[in-house]
Amino acid sequence: MTISETQRQTLLNMVEDIAGPEVKKVAIVLLDSEEETTDEIIAEELDIKLNNVRKALYRLYDIQLASFRRIRDKNSGWFLYLWKIHPERIDDIISTRRKEVLNKIKMRLEFEESQMFFQSNCEHYTRISFQDAMVFEFVCPECGEKFEPFENEVIINALKLRKDELVNLIKAKNGA
Protein backbone atom coordinates (compact mmCIF):
# COMPACT_ATOMS: atom_id res chain seq x y z
CA MET A 1 0.00 0.00 0.00
CA THR A 2 1.29 3.44 -0.92
CA ILE A 3 0.80 6.25 1.55
CA SER A 4 1.49 9.96 1.32
CA GLU A 5 4.42 11.57 3.08
CA THR A 6 1.96 13.29 5.45
CA GLN A 7 0.36 9.96 6.36
CA ARG A 8 3.80 8.43 6.82
CA GLN A 9 4.89 11.23 9.17
CA THR A 10 1.62 11.02 11.10
CA LEU A 11 2.09 7.28 11.55
CA LEU A 12 5.72 7.62 12.62
CA ASN A 13 4.97 10.47 15.02
CA MET A 14 2.17 8.47 16.58
CA VAL A 15 4.37 5.38 16.92
CA GLU A 16 7.09 7.44 18.59
CA ASP A 17 4.59 9.10 20.94
CA ILE A 18 3.00 5.81 21.95
CA ALA A 19 5.91 3.39 21.84
CA GLY A 20 9.16 5.34 21.67
CA PRO A 21 11.99 6.10 19.22
CA GLU A 22 13.32 2.53 18.92
CA VAL A 23 9.89 1.25 17.85
CA LYS A 24 9.74 4.14 15.36
CA LYS A 25 13.00 2.92 13.78
CA VAL A 26 11.52 -0.55 13.35
CA ALA A 27 8.36 0.98 11.85
CA ILE A 28 10.49 2.89 9.33
CA VAL A 29 12.17 -0.33 8.19
CA LEU A 30 8.78 -2.02 7.80
CA LEU A 31 7.39 0.95 5.88
CA ASP A 32 10.39 0.99 3.55
CA SER A 33 10.25 -2.75 2.94
CA GLU A 34 8.58 -3.91 -0.25
CA GLU A 35 7.52 -7.20 1.31
CA GLU A 36 7.23 -8.97 4.63
CA THR A 37 10.40 -8.80 6.71
CA THR A 38 11.88 -10.98 9.42
CA ASP A 39 13.00 -9.73 12.79
CA GLU A 40 16.55 -10.87 11.99
CA ILE A 41 16.70 -8.69 8.87
CA ILE A 42 15.41 -5.69 10.83
CA ALA A 43 17.95 -6.27 13.63
CA GLU A 44 20.76 -6.50 11.10
CA GLU A 45 19.65 -3.41 9.18
CA LEU A 46 19.29 -1.29 12.33
CA ASP A 47 22.21 -2.85 14.21
CA ILE A 48 19.92 -3.41 17.20
CA LYS A 49 19.77 -6.51 19.39
CA LEU A 50 17.30 -9.07 18.09
CA ASN A 51 15.45 -9.14 21.41
CA ASN A 52 14.89 -5.35 21.22
CA VAL A 53 13.59 -5.65 17.66
CA ARG A 54 11.17 -8.35 18.76
CA LYS A 55 9.93 -6.16 21.63
CA ALA A 56 9.39 -3.31 19.18
CA LEU A 57 7.55 -5.56 16.75
CA TYR A 58 5.27 -6.86 19.46
CA ARG A 59 4.63 -3.28 20.55
CA LEU A 60 3.58 -2.45 16.97
CA TYR A 61 1.43 -5.57 17.00
CA ASP A 62 -0.18 -4.49 20.30
CA ILE A 63 -1.20 -1.14 18.84
CA GLN A 64 -2.51 -2.97 15.78
CA LEU A 65 -0.10 -1.42 13.30
CA ALA A 66 1.80 -4.60 12.45
CA SER A 67 0.98 -8.22 11.85
CA PHE A 68 3.01 -11.35 11.31
CA ARG A 69 2.81 -14.62 9.48
CA ARG A 70 4.53 -17.71 10.87
CA ILE A 71 6.15 -20.24 8.56
CA ARG A 72 8.49 -23.14 9.21
CA ASP A 73 11.98 -22.94 7.71
CA LYS A 74 12.44 -26.14 5.70
CA ASN A 75 16.20 -26.28 6.38
CA SER A 76 16.34 -25.59 10.11
CA GLY A 77 12.84 -26.57 11.19
CA TRP A 78 12.57 -23.30 13.11
CA PHE A 79 9.65 -20.98 12.75
CA LEU A 80 10.18 -17.72 10.87
CA TYR A 81 8.01 -14.72 11.57
CA LEU A 82 7.36 -12.50 8.60
CA TRP A 83 6.26 -9.02 9.64
CA LYS A 84 4.44 -6.26 7.79
CA ILE A 85 3.07 -2.90 8.78
CA HIS A 86 -0.49 -1.70 8.18
CA PRO A 87 -0.49 2.05 7.59
CA GLU A 88 -4.12 1.86 6.49
CA ARG A 89 -5.07 1.28 10.14
CA ILE A 90 -3.69 4.63 11.29
CA ASP A 91 -7.03 6.47 11.04
CA ASP A 92 -8.81 3.85 13.16
CA ILE A 93 -6.02 3.90 15.74
CA ILE A 94 -6.05 7.70 15.93
CA SER A 95 -9.84 7.66 16.31
CA THR A 96 -9.60 5.11 19.11
CA ARG A 97 -6.89 7.14 20.87
CA ARG A 98 -8.97 10.31 20.61
CA LYS A 99 -11.92 8.54 22.22
CA GLU A 100 -9.68 7.22 25.01
CA VAL A 101 -8.31 10.72 25.65
CA LEU A 102 -11.84 12.15 25.59
CA ASN A 103 -12.96 9.64 28.22
CA LYS A 104 -9.98 10.52 30.43
CA ILE A 105 -10.72 14.24 30.05
CA LYS A 106 -14.38 13.65 30.96
CA MET A 107 -13.35 11.72 34.07
CA ARG A 108 -10.87 14.40 35.10
CA LEU A 109 -13.43 17.13 34.45
CA GLU A 110 -15.99 15.32 36.59
CA PHE A 111 -13.38 15.00 39.35
CA GLU A 112 -12.40 18.67 39.16
CA GLU A 113 -16.03 19.82 39.22
CA SER A 114 -16.99 17.58 42.13
CA GLN A 115 -14.09 18.40 44.45
CA MET A 116 -13.05 21.32 46.57
CA PHE A 117 -9.32 21.97 46.77
CA PHE A 118 -7.02 23.85 49.11
CA GLN A 119 -3.44 25.05 48.90
CA SER A 120 -0.61 26.24 51.08
CA ASN A 121 1.70 29.06 50.07
CA CYS A 122 4.67 26.84 50.91
CA GLU A 123 6.16 24.29 48.52
CA HIS A 124 4.84 21.31 50.49
CA TYR A 125 1.19 21.32 49.46
CA THR A 126 0.39 23.26 46.33
CA ARG A 127 -3.05 21.64 46.05
CA ILE A 128 -4.87 19.10 48.18
CA SER A 129 -8.44 17.87 48.40
CA PHE A 130 -10.93 19.02 50.97
CA GLN A 131 -10.77 15.62 52.69
CA ASP A 132 -6.98 15.78 53.02
CA ALA A 133 -7.14 19.38 54.23
CA MET A 134 -9.63 18.27 56.90
CA VAL A 135 -7.22 15.58 58.09
CA PHE A 136 -4.60 18.30 58.63
CA GLU A 137 -7.21 20.62 60.17
CA PHE A 138 -6.58 23.06 57.30
CA VAL A 139 -3.01 23.68 58.46
CA CYS A 140 0.10 22.56 56.55
CA PRO A 141 1.82 19.93 58.71
CA GLU A 142 5.23 20.92 57.31
CA CYS A 143 5.28 24.69 57.85
CA GLY A 144 2.15 25.47 59.88
CA GLU A 145 0.61 27.77 57.25
CA LYS A 146 -3.13 27.79 56.90
CA PHE A 147 -4.59 26.10 53.81
CA GLU A 148 -6.47 28.51 51.58
CA PRO A 149 -9.16 27.63 49.01
CA PHE A 150 -7.73 26.75 45.61
CA GLU A 151 -9.80 27.92 42.66
CA ASN A 152 -9.65 25.31 39.92
CA GLU A 153 -11.82 27.22 37.45
CA VAL A 154 -8.88 27.62 35.05
CA ILE A 155 -8.34 23.85 35.05
CA ILE A 156 -12.05 23.20 34.57
CA ASN A 157 -12.26 25.67 31.67
CA ALA A 158 -9.20 24.17 29.98
CA LEU A 159 -10.64 20.67 30.32
CA LYS A 160 -14.01 21.80 28.93
CA LEU A 161 -12.31 23.47 25.99
CA ARG A 162 -10.22 20.39 25.20
CA LYS A 163 -13.27 18.14 25.61
CA ASP A 164 -15.28 20.27 23.17
CA GLU A 165 -12.40 20.27 20.67
CA LEU A 166 -12.14 16.49 20.79
CA VAL A 167 -15.90 15.99 20.54
CA ASN A 168 -16.01 18.23 17.45
CA LEU A 169 -13.00 16.50 15.92
CA ILE A 170 -14.49 13.05 16.48
CA LYS A 171 -17.83 14.18 15.02
CA ALA A 172 -16.09 15.68 11.98
CA LYS A 173 -14.10 12.48 11.35
CA ASN A 174 -17.23 10.33 11.72
CA GLY A 175 -19.15 12.54 9.32
CA ALA A 176 -21.75 13.40 11.93
pLDDT tens digits, the chain, 176 residues: what are they?
678 888 889 899 989 998 999 999 999 999 999 899 999 999 999 999 999 999 999 999 999 999 999 999 899 989 999 999 999 888 888 888 899 999 999 999 999 999 999 998 887 778 899 999 999 999 988 888 899 999 999 999 999 999 999 999 988 877 65
Whether residue 70 is found in the same domain as residue 123 = no
Burial degree of 174 (CB within 10 A; 0-12, 13-18, 19+): exposed
Whether residue 101 is found in the same domain as residue 69 = no
Whether residue 69 is found in the same domain as residue 112 = no
Domain carrying residue 98? 91-174
Q: How many domains does the chain have?
A: 2
Whether residue 50 is found in the same domain as residue 16 = yes
